[in-house]
Structure 1
Amino acid sequence: MFRITLLSALLSVLLPLTVTGLPSHADPAIPRVPTKRDRTPYQLKPPPLDTPWTSKVGTNPWPEHPRPRLFREDWLSLNGIWGFEAFNRQEDVPASPPQVVALPQEVLVPSCIESGISGIMRLDVMHMYFARSFKIPSSWKRNNRVMLIFEAIDYEATVYVNGQKVGFNRGGYFRFSFDITEFIKLGESNELQVFVFDPTDTTGYRIPKGKQTLRPSHIWYTPCSGIWQSVWLESVPEHHITDLDLVADMNGQVTYHVYTSTNESTPVGISMFEAKSDSSPGQGNMVLTHKAVSNQKGTAKLASPKLWTPDSPNLYTIKIKMGEDEVTSYTGFRTISSGTVKGVKRPLLNGQFVFQFGTLDQGYWPDGIHTPPTLEAMVYDLQLLKKIGMNMVRKHIKIEPDLFYQACDKLGLLVIQDMPAMDPNVDLPPSAEQQVEFERQVDLMVSQFKGYTSIVTWVMYNEGWGQITSPDYPEFRIAERIRQLDPTRLVNAVTGWNDHGAGDFHDNHHYADPQCGTPWSSLASTPYDPNRIGFQGEYGGLGHVPAKDNLWPIEKAVNDINQTYEINIDLPSYHYRSHILFTLLKDQVAMHSCSGAVYTQTTDVEGEVNGLMTYDRRVVRIDIDQWRDDIRALFEAAKGRT
């Protein structure tokens, strides 16, 4: 294991570990970053705390196709070694993009530059250049268009190909792409340069950033800057499919909208294939064919579909053909709604009340910060939740790669998806300009991820962070906008407090004991509203200080441990307290109007030591058998209410 102090980490005093990777999903003619005599070669920097997957990252990170809902055969990963240079001030940035060979360091993409995996591990960079060379595979059709796709860059990115600007993007969590056909040279090496500006919480900026901060402390964590999700190229016909809205409900109705690169109405063929027994979106027997038209909303019907539920996460493969273009997607048949069951407002899945129970999931890693070291590592967290009987995860003020949501689709985990919050540690409310940008990014979140079957609820504001709390309350307007974009899911306008009555949920937070749909409330919360769903957005947070080898060894974080909501001196007391909290919650489910609860949290994060697992994922803190029994009792109590 790597164990170093923060000062050693940042100054790179210790000898880094050299890592190697498997062959890239790429044409063998694609060059590595050209070498330069004085360039600092990439080496994984030992992070303050590693995970079992740190040494497996290699130089071919995240080779999986990054967009499972719209897959084409002709794609090329640009992940791997890039050139890198950091600049202290905006005036230090060169007027024109530097050549790849001019950049003095190598960096691993995707990664946060603050992470050990990046090979940079710096916390003080706002301005930076990334660059690499690439060649277009000779097997791609010469008359096709070439798309350059970034899954996510934090925060602003200006992109150049062969020194020419091709576009700009703002927002740290969402996919964006450019048609670079006119900028590339076929059969020759091309240069890709990306200038990134990330203010995080610098004075004068207020952006959607979740828990990132330049000054980590307690519940505020190490930030993520740069190209932190996959980069790739795709070959598409001149007239091609650009996006797909697809909803399959419990009655077998499939509602679709195939968007294309032009506004033409073009014949589209849709084929659906039976779900495989292993719940993967593989191709089984064909169950439906349908003739459609592009750029028009339409419907098709499948008789007696196998429904998607947490217990049976059935998925169907879908192939869509339009002219020379063909894409593969998938979906699950299910319906999300709310309704009154025995006098209590409930969330419904396929017309039935399903109690939702899972963890607050921060999605932070000691070696990768925002970027999990591997797909296997990311899925490991989710598998633990399923193993102990949970059926839900709340993705907390962070947005993950698409492959996270595909994993939840496959495993059968309901997802409550938060919008990344603006900084709450500011006295003034967001300006009009900042609020407009926040709402624009809410639209991006819903539009990009609404095709994933597992997502059941959109969360707008967490504990008032970045929320305007004076009339007219914007959460009413935003909730209606979300419903326009996606009428198939529920909206949790406010989780925590500053609840003015918007959205489908009355959701409070209370540590450590739950207060879920109860006739009493804490000072921070409003009394339960029977016209909305009673929900416990956060509770628990029971802490236990792990062994030194499993602790984030940063002095500030260690000193903040005592701010964890509750610290137990040993594991027997921790197990006892967790059982007591389960008993209290079970009683509230049986006696009152509790429809779901979120336990804090999946793993420890930096100075917070209240996870089911330690931050390095090496120690499972909970008593798995006890938790299984207690979680089963929650679901039994909920069944008793139906």
Structure 2
Amino acid sequence: MKKLFVVALLALMNVWNVFSADVPRPEYPRPQFERADWVNLNGIWTYEFDFGNSGKDRKLQETDKFKNNIIVPFCPESKLSGVEHTDFINQMWYQRPLTIPANWNGKKIFLNFGAVDYCAEIFIDKKFIARHFGGSSSFSIDLTRYVKPGQTHNLVVFVKDDLRSGEQTGGKQCTNYFSGGCSYTRVTGIWQTVWMEAVAPNGLKNVFARPDIDQKQLVILPEFYQESNDGTLEVTVLDGKKTVAKKEVSSCNGSVVVLPMKNMNLWTPETPFLYDVVYRVKDAKGNVIDEVKSYVGMRKVHTANGIFYLNNEPYYQRLVLDQGYYPDGIWTAPSDEALKNDIVLGKEAGFNGARLHQKVFEERYYYWADKLGYITWGESASWVLDVNKELAARNFIGEWSEVVLRDRNHPSLVTWTPFNETWGGGQNAYVRLVKDVYHITKGIDPTRPINDASGDNHVLTDIWSVHNYEQDRAKLTEQLKFEEGKEPYRNTRDKDFLAVYEGQPYMLDEFGGIPWMAEKDRKNSWGYGGMPANEEEFYKRLEGQIDAIIDSKHVWGFCYTQLTDVEQEKNGVYYYNRTPKLDMKRIKAIFEKIPSRPGK
């Protein structure tokens, strides 16, 4: 009898494991705008590659099931997808059934994609309904006209990803067959969570939550799917279970909600206090027709007199370059815990934040940065984009605008970096593109400084960033020296159409990159400046570079390359599997030689 019970229990556990495996990344993907009524669509989808771009001729948009399976939200290049096809995939097709909950009748029904690289075409029951461009930005499709609650429909997604075209963002995805240098395995198709949710027709579309600590208030700018003459929006701010502010306004896009915030708890990396916020849209009778849960961090960032300020006090940024690659998921973290762990590792290494490099990180990462206290720089995946092409510029502006709109409410995010190392940018299309992106970004979010092009080639910028991988302390000190009447060290000096330094905060936002790897890995791997002979030489070289920065009083922040190894680039302070390479207490002590708050 006991044996039969154990067998039954093991069988039940196997069923549970299979069921659980069907829904990877089960957490709600948009933690700053969370609704209760949603369906996670991650799990097993069917797919077919379309190397000949003949799928539409073959009517693949009408297919109710492809012959191969893939685990969404992991890209087909990754191990976690179950596919692991790492050659170029210019076109592919996805399919899954879409069952609409019966109780969604009378509501707007949205199909949401965290990100699809690069162009996605959506078909419901053989009918084309929408197209989206942008490999890193989230988007929503209104399915209301095409589906019926209580019924099952057929969803097909066609993906195009022409990485070598120069007309789309790609980040660190390699344009050669093999990964090489600082370019790595490619990412195609769906790589973030897909989900459905139901929203009242007059529901809340988005908000811009603007903390104003100088006037001790929180300003909310709401936008609705459909405005109402007699509906209202109620905004409640809570400290735990205690209501600290509450206001009700008309549910119109022109409404402004101003909430006094007395005795504020300010958000900082050291004290990452978050207020809960609840948005309730009500009809004319006072019935709640839409409820969204959110949070806000009361904090201010600005630049003045060559200094970066957090909450009106000088704040020194000790950043680490984080590329957000994972051995098994490529661009997609294997779990929510993995996102959290990367931030924990950064803090344990002595960093107070990260420059999120050549990848738009998913919102769950920002949630953990907000919660744990970790400042971030938001960056596009701008590499492989030809910044001198007009169509490339058009594509970039659309994608980047969606990114800024999505992430502008996160208190951890303190700087926008649209471009990185745009060395080939010319005086016509490039200059115009950077100026347009700067002004568009400021229009969507005027609350943060912009680092127009990390590593120089600056056109219009609030942060003056440079890259310098000089390994010798004395040489680095000399290169970073400010001299009266001379422009400081920069990476691009010979282009008269570029900006000149005008006293912005000067930041060394790439340096270091000291390699450290096992003997067996040295043949095909690399870092900057050659491999130290032993651990002590590693510490000595690292400390020398930090001392050079300390000597350079005008430098107001740094970004060390990098948090983890990525494939053949082995210059992380952690291995690619996130285990420590060296004595992390010593590493932490070296980086923390520069305090976050100078003079305190």
TM-score normalized by structure 1? 0.82
Distance 1:303 1:541 in 2: 45
Match of 2:194 among 219, 231, 242: 231
1:253 to 200, 217, 225: 217
Match of 1:463 in 2: 421
State the Cα distance separating 1:310 from its structure 2 match.
0.6
| SS of structure 1 residue aligned to 2:451 | strand
Corresponding residue of 1:376: 337
Q: 1:613: Cα distance to partner?
A: 0.7
Tell me: CA distance 1:297–1:532, structure 2 relative to 1, closer, same or farther (3 Å).
farther
Which residue pairs with 1:293 in the alignment?
250
Q: Which residue of 1 aligns with 2:587?
A: 627
Letter in 2 for 1:197: K
- The one-letter amino acid paired with 1:240 is G
Instruction: Describe the superposition over 1:537-557 as per-residue Cα deviations: whole angstroms up to 9, x where unpaired.
Output: 100000012365xx6xxxxxx
Q: How far apart in 2 are the matches of 1:271 and 1:293?
A: 15
For 1:22 and 1:518, the matched residues in 2 are separated by 60
Cα shift at 1:75: 0.3
Task: Give the one of 410, 422, 425 matched to 1:452.
Answer: 410
CA distance, structure 1, for counterparts of residue 116 and residue 16 of structure 2: 25
**CA offsets 1:13-48 (integer angstroms, 9 cap, x no match):** xxxxx9984646xxxxxxxxxxxxxxxxxxxxxxxx
User: Is 1:309 matched with 2:281?
Assistant: no
CA contact (8 A) 1:71 1:329 kept: yes
Shift of 1:585: 1.9
Amino acid at match of 2:234: G
- Aligned equivalent of 1:404, options 354, 359, 365: 365
Work out whether residues 206 and 422 of structure 1, in 8 Å CA contact, stay in contact via their aligned partners in 2.
no
CA deviation after TM superposition for structure 1 residue 264, in Å: 3.7
Q: Find the counterpart in structure 2 of residue 485 from structure 1.
A: 444
Q: How does 1:162-561 map to 2 (within 5 A)?
A: 162-201=125-164, 204-215=165-176, 216-251=179-214, 252-264=216-228, 266-274=231-239, 283-294=240-251, 295-298=253-256, 299-323=258-282, 324-340=289-305, 345-423=306-384, 430-464=388-422, 467-470=425-428, 473-474=431-432, 475-500=434-459, 502-513=460-471, 518-519=481-482, 524-525=491-492, 529=501, 531-546=503-518, 548=520, 559-561=523-525
Does structure 2 retain, via aligned residues, the 8 Å contact 1:87–1:128? yes
- Aligned residue for 2:593, secondary structure, equals helix
* Offset of residue 155 of structure 1: 0.5
Partner of 1:492, secondary structure, is: coil
Alpha-carbon RMSD across the aligned residues, in angstroms, is 2.4
Superposed displacement of residue 249, structure 1: 2.6
Residue 472 and residue 542 in structure 1: after superposition, are their counterparts in 2 closer, same or farther (change >3 A)?
Answer: closer
Q: Displacement, 1:467?
A: 3.4
Preserved CA contact (<8 Å) 1:421 1:465: no
Measured against aligned partners, the alpha-carbon deviations of 1:203-227 in whole angstroms (never above 9, x if no partner) come to x442111111242211111110011
For structure 1, the residue ranges without an aligned partner over 5 or more in a row are: 1-17, 25-57, 275-282, 552-557
Give the counterpart letter for 1:68 in structure 2.
Answer: P
Q: Residue type matched to 2:491 in 1?
A: A
Distance 1:508 1:411 in 2: 28
- In structure 2, the partner of 1:5 is none
Query: Bigger shift: 72-81 or 435-444?
Result: 435-444
Provide the TM-score with structure 2 as the length reference.
0.88
After superposition, the Cα gap between the structure-2 partners of 1:297 and 1:635, relative to the gap in structure 1 and judged at 3 Å, is farther
Deviations along 1:553-611, one digit per CA (max 9) or x if unpaired, are xxxxx6542464432233332222112222222222xxx21110000001001111100
- Give the match's secondary structure for 1:66: coil
Name the CA shift for 1:148/1:136 in 2 (closer, same or farther; >3 Å).
same
CA separation of 1:518 and 1:499: change in aligned 2, threshold 3 A: farther
> What's the CA shift for 1:116?
1.0
Q: How many residues align?
A: 559
1:51-89 CA distance string (max 9 Å, x none)? xxxxxxx33211000011111110000000000110111
Letter in 2 for 1:78: L
Give the aligned partner of residue 639 of structure 1: 598
Preserved CA contact (<8 Å) 2:319 2:353: yes
C-alpha distance 387-395 of structure 1, shift in aligned 2 (>3 A): same
How far off its partner does 1:233 sit? Answer: 0.6
User: 1:320 and 1:386 mapped to 2: Cα distance?
Assistant: 33
Give the partner amino acid of 2:511.
Y
- Where structure 2 has 5 or more consecutive residues not aligned to the other structure, the ranges are 1-13, 283-288, 494-498
Query: What's the offset of the Cα at 1:399?
Result: 0.4
Identity %: 27
Shift in alpha-carbon separation, 1:89–1:634, aligned structure 2, 3 A: same
Question: How far off is 1:102 after superposition?
Answer: 3.5
Q: Deviation digits for residues 176-229 of structure 1, max 9, x if unmatched?
A: 11121222243332211111111112xx44211111124221111111001100
Provide the secondary structure at the position in 1 that maps to 2:262: coil
Query: Are 1:218 and 1:560, in contact at CA under 8 Å, matched by a contact in 2?
Result: no
AA partner of residue 411 (structure 2): T
Task: Report the Cα distance in structure 2 between the residues aligned to 1:472 and 1:367, rounded to whole angstroms.
Answer: 36
Amino acid across the alignment from 2:458: D
Contact in 2 for aligned 1:517/1:534 (Cα 8 Å): no
Deviations 1:317-375 (A, max 9, x none): 111111211111111000111123xxxx1011110000000201101111111111111
On the 8 A contact 1:509/1:537 being kept in 2, the answer is: yes
